[in-house]
């Protein structure tokens, strides 16, 4: 049978890995796909690098549009990243009747609705397994493996850089800034690490997972995003003393009021499997009403793990390339005319338990004042620790774990507590999830 010809846009870290995997496992891939898959055209600005990797086995160009418009190309693999030129290239590929494979989570989270609509109209596929959690097949699990379930919630460690930083802070007792520098030296964090440490990367991925889980359009602009840059050693230590670990989680839940879509540092009981995912590894916990909780663990980034997902998409697309478009798995798991209109819940309406830490003057009546404010805001205390002041110290930390409360009530209570003359500085709030 005639081989499938793919055009590769970008032969950097993931593109190079994709080239390597397709060549290394060519026979195995052909046995699975039913026909050979070869990259016959490569577009990259660095022509010398591309030529050294391809070694004459594909046509090289610096013009990506040349690839997406080439008549001999069946599948376009978009691995250049970003949301501007990548969007234009993907839409042009679709207009030219090409199937598309992409690892671009930012592109899909922000422009996925437009891209999927264009693909649906043209009758082509857009496959994106590599866009979330690298080599973990979470997209396929949500679209196919869990199709019998009504998904209740997803909670995931979906950014390896942040997870590495939090692991090192806990294990080595180092401050955030020191561990960030270490992550940059190891290549885990970019020179400008904002997307990773402020939760934006995780929010892109969570937007995709939420759409697949609940059959809703991509709505990245409505995701609540809070990063890890303000976490301190004190909070990591106190959390450990209380039996919790802090992870940057992406959480999406179905509620009667709407869909929660939020990324933030979260206390998780240390006995939970996901709390013990360390370093740059990723893990995603999915709760279905039929199957219960399922956990997906593995390498969330890197050349070969992400290439594994890209090539898996190539195999899937090759198998289905001649199928009736109506019989293919829908892009967002649900039929496009049956997407739900559930609203994304504003963060102020979300209900969570909380860890609250405040530094106060060591005087009688302080705890009573704080407790009264919490009670007036309909917030009940589940546990409390008052640290002993050091010798000669007149300040002390109070740590509280609350029961579940509405976010806006916690915000109001924190503002009132911070106005007490005996409370020094801001109240630290970290949300808590039991993940049952």
DSSP letters, 299-334, are E-SSHHHHHHHHHHHHHHHHHHTTS-GGGSPPTTSS
Specify burial of residue 101 (Cβ count, 10 A radius: 0-12, 13-18, 19+). Answer: buried
Contact between 279 and 157 under an 8 Å Cβ cutoff? The reply is no
Bridge-partner residues for 259, per DSSP?
A: 254, 344
Integer Cα distance of 184 and 265 in angstroms:
21
Active site residue: 87, 98, 105, 205, which one?
205
Integer Cα distance of 230 and 377 in angstroms:
26
Give residue 247's pLDDT band: very low, low, confident or very high (50, 70, 90).
very high
Averaged confidence pLDDT in the chain: 96
Write down the residue that tokens 């970019």 correspond to. Answer: 190
| pLDDT tens per residue, range 380-431 | 999 999 887 777 688 999 999 999 999 999 999 999 999 999 999 999 999 9
Which pLDDT belongs to residue 69?
Answer: 98
**pLDDT surpassing 80 at residue 54:** yes
Query: What's the half-sphere exposure (Cβ side, CA atoms, 13 Å) at 110?
Result: 12
Q: Structural domains in the chain?
A: 4-135+303-338 (3.40.50.720), 138-299 (3.30.360.10), 347-432 (3.30.70.260)
Residues 6+ apart with CB under 8 A from 67: 7, 8, 9, 41, 42, 43, 61, 73, 76
Integer Cα distance of 124 and 118 in angstroms:
9
Helix/strand/coil for 433: coil
Output the six-digit token pair for 290.
């039929």
Range list of β-strands (E), 79-132: 99-102, 126-127
Which pLDDT belongs to residue 393?
Answer: 80
Which pLDDT belongs to residue 387?
Answer: 80
Dihedral (CA of 283, 400, 397, 421) sign = positive
Dihedral (CA of 208, 209, 210, 211) sign = positive
Which pLDDT belongs to residue 105?
Answer: 98
| pLDDT tens per residue, range 200-230 | 999 999 999 999 999 999 999 999 999 999 9
Assign residue 81 a region (left: φ > 0; alpha: ψ between -120 and 50; beta: otherwise): left
| pLDDT tens per residue, range 26-52 | 999 999 999 999 999 999 999 999 999
| pLDDT tens per residue, range 350-379 | 999 999 999 999 888 999 999 999 999 999
Contact between 431 and 267 under an 8 Å Cβ cutoff? The reply is yes
Q: Any catalytic annotation for residue 205?
A: yes
Range list of β-strands (E), 376-421: 381-386, 395-402, 405-406
SS3 content of the chain, % helix, strand, coil (to 5): 40, 25, 35
Residues 6+ apart with CB under 8 A from 90: 76, 78, 100, 102, 107, 115, 126
Which pLDDT belongs to residue 63?
Answer: 98
With a pLDDT cut of 70, the percent of the chain lying above it is 100
**pLDDT surpassing 90 at residue 14:** yes
| pLDDT tens per residue, range 132-167 | 999 999 999 999 999 999 999 999 999 999 999 999
Which pLDDT belongs to residue 433?
Answer: 98
Contact between 361 and 424 under an 8 Å Cβ cutoff? The reply is yes
Dihedral angle, C-alpha 183, 189, 191, 194, nearest 10 °: -120
φ, ψ (nearest 5 deg) of residue 318: -60, -40
């Amino acid at each position: 049978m005639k081989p499938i010809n793919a055009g590769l846009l970008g032969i950097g870290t993931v593109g190079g890995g994709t080239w390597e995997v397709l060549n290394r496992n060519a026979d195995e891939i052909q046995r699975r796909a039913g026909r050979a898959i070869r990259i016959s055209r490569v577009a990259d600005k660095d022509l010398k690098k591309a030529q050294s990797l391809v070694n004459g086995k594909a046509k090289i160009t610096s013009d990506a549009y040349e690839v997406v418009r080439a008549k001999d190309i069946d599948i376009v693999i978009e691995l250049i990243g970003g949301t501007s030129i990548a969007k234009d290239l993907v839409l042009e590929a679709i207009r030219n009747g090409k199937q598309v494979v992409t690892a671009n989570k930012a592109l899909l989270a922000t422009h996925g609705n437009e891209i999927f609509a264009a693909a649906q109209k043209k009758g082509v596929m857009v496959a994106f397994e590599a866009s979330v959690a690298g080599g973990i097949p979470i997209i396929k699990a949500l679209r196919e493996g869990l199709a019998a379930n009504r998904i209740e919630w997803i909670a995931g460690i979906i950014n390896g850089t942040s997870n590495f930083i939090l692991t090192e802070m806990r294990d080595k007792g180092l401050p955030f800034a020191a561990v960030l520098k270490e992550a940059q030296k190891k290549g885990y964090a970019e020179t400008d690490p904002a997307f990773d440490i402020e939760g934006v990367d995780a929010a892109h991925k969570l937007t995709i997972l939420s759409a697949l889980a609940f059959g809703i359009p991509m709505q990245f602009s409505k995701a609540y995003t809070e990063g890890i840059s303000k976490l301190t050693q004190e909070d990591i230590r106190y959390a450990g003393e209380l039996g919790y670990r802090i992870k940057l989680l992406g959480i999406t839940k179905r509620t009667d009021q709407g869909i929660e879509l939020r990324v933030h540092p979260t206390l998780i009981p240390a006995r939970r499997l996901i709390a013990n995912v360390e370093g740059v590894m990723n893990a995603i916990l999915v709760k279905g009403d039929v199957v219960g909780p399922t956990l997906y663990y593995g390498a969330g980034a890197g050349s070969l793990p992400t290439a594994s997902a890209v090539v898996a998409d190539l195999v899937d697309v090759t198998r289905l390339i001649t199928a009736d478009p109506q019989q293919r798995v829908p892009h967002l798991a649900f039929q496009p005319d049956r997407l739900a209109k559930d609203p994304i819940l504003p963060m102020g309406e979300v209900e969570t338990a909380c860890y609250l830490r405040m530094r106060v003057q060591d005087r009688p009546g302080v705890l009573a004042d704080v407790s009264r404010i919490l009670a007036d805001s309909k917030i009940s205390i589940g546990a409390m620790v008052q640290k002993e002041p050091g010798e000669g110290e007149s300040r002390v930390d109070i740590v509280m774990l609350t029961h579940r409360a509405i976010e806006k009530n916690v915000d109001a209570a924190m503002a009132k507590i911070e106005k007490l003359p005996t409370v020094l500085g801001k109240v630290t709030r970290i949300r808590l999830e039991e993940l049952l």
